[in-house]
Amino acid sequence: MDGVILIEIGSLRGHEEVIPDNLEKRSSKLLAMGFYKPIIVDRDSLVILDGHHKWTAARLLGLERVPVLMVDYLLDESVNVGVWPDCGRESITKHEVLEMGLSGGVFPPKTSRHMFPFRIPSIRIPLEELKG
């Protein structure tokens, strides 16, 4: 894992739908605080592992770049994926997450649940710095 970097928002790929109420909350929080936590992505594919609501809110707010923290998803055995309770699946694999992200399709909201061996760092990046 490297440090937080800024990346073009359009280069990221989602794999999960967002929940409208959560999206509204994330948009409001971004407007009030700026970017406060990076989006976690797979280094090779740029598939989002954590931060779909922040990514979608950033797109709606017209941001061109977003802060990300990249991980070696398939190689790092300390990064784990499971499923949220009541999501309709018994399990999910890292390969299924990446395949969905690369396909352009999405799982229902709150399907994959990623666990990282690190605490996601708090950051403070004003939205103006991410606009053009």
**Residue extents of the structural domains in the chain:** 5-130
Kindly state the average pLDDT of the residues 78-91. 94
CA dist 116 and 123 (Å) reads 17
The structure's pTM equals 0.94
**Cα–Cα distance, 89 to 46 (Å, whole number):** 24
Determine the Cα angle at 81 with ends 80 and 85, to 5°: 135
- Mean predicted confidence (pLDDT) in 66-93: 95
Burial class of residue 38, CB neighbours in 10 A (0-12, 13-18, 19+)? buried
* pLDDT at residue 95 in the model: 97
16 is catalytic: yes
Write down the pLDDT at residue 1: 56
Measured CA to CA, the distance from residue 49 to residue 42 in angstroms comes to 7
Topology given in CATH for the domain delimited by 5-130: 3.90.1530
Among candidate residues 8, 16, 17, 129, the one labeled active-site is: 16
